[in-house]
Amino acid sequence: MTTIELNNLSIKDYLAEQNIHPVKDRGYYGMYHSPFRTDSNASLKVDYTKNLWIDFGSNEGGTMIDLVMRLDNCTLKEAINKLECRYANMQTGSNTDNQPEPFSFHGNNHLEKIENNQLSGISIQKILPITNQALLYYLTERKISIDIAKQHCNEIHYSANNKPYFSIGFKNDSGGYELRNKYFKGCTSKNIATDRSTESNTEACLVFEGFMDYLSYLTMKNIQYSKVDIVVLNSIANLSKAIDFIISHQKIYTYLDNDQAGKNATQQISKTCKAVIDKSTDYANYKDLNEWLCKTKLIEKEQQVQKQEQIRRPSRGIRR
């Protein structure tokens, strides 16, 4: 693994594996009690988006490798070796402690498209229903309904560079799979995924950027399948492949990311379709639909805890 790949490993997840959790979680960053010293003010910040950390108390900070060097008081070479050994041992999904399993991390920049629409370097070995505890734990972290995910996805076991891996797989229109696990985002072929509803109403179409957004939508609506047609782009770069399907509908609802690429794609759809409703305004303060779902579930959990505390609180009666 390169240092770039190692530094792309989630600092938040790494700290959680060390049983270090944020005191305050703002969705895109978290505040922690510093693990380097006694800290009652939670002065360690982890930026989830940039994947960087800074300890305001000691004015230290940096990348994942910097964090390991500081936590374990080791050299750069030792920190790299620790991370490589840690994640290499996890690639097959073995779990002797029966705990939620982390995944191996591997990049896909070296994979090249070949004639049969498969990506060289990835060879699917098994396609199963989702039962692996690590994948179920990953879905739970993303607040995705397990039952809904099992309806639309599979557990894909595959090899890359002669090493075994496993991921959640979402089938696209080429018969290939979008692959996701905690540390990897890739595919066996680049294409959109479309699904025509069995309902009588086919005038509307929902457009999602990724399949996690589609699963988030179904989870929020508490439905197994969409009542209208849907298309999952799997990448903004695939928009041109989806245009013909999209313009065959009278009403278009876009659930794209709140970044410039998402906004540009929505504008491009609006140029070719008359009635386009940009649903990203519903989650304007969040990166995407799944982040909104995660935050919504967190707020609901906090409200439930507050209600339970009020119920347990003893009544003082009426003073006379």
For residue range 159-175, list pLDDT tens digits in order. 887 788 889 999 999 99
- pLDDT value at position 88? 56
- pLDDT value at position 114? 30
pTM, two decimals, is 0.62
pLDDT above 60 for 97: no
**Contact, 48 vs 40, CB < 8 A?**
no
**Contact, 51 vs 37, CB < 8 A?**
no
**H or E element, residue 231:** strand 229-232
Average pLDDT over residues 32-58: 90
Burial class (CB in 10 A: 0-12, 13-18, 19+), 75: exposed
- pLDDT value at position 59? 82
- pLDDT value at position 89? 43
How does residue 112 score in pLDDT terms, banded at 50, 70 and 90? very low
How does residue 312 score in pLDDT terms, banded at 50, 70 and 90? low
- pLDDT value at position 251? 94
How does residue 109 score in pLDDT terms, banded at 50, 70 and 90? very low
pLDDT above 60 for 269: yes
Rg (the chain; Cα; Å) = 22
Burial class (CB in 10 A: 0-12, 13-18, 19+), 300: exposed
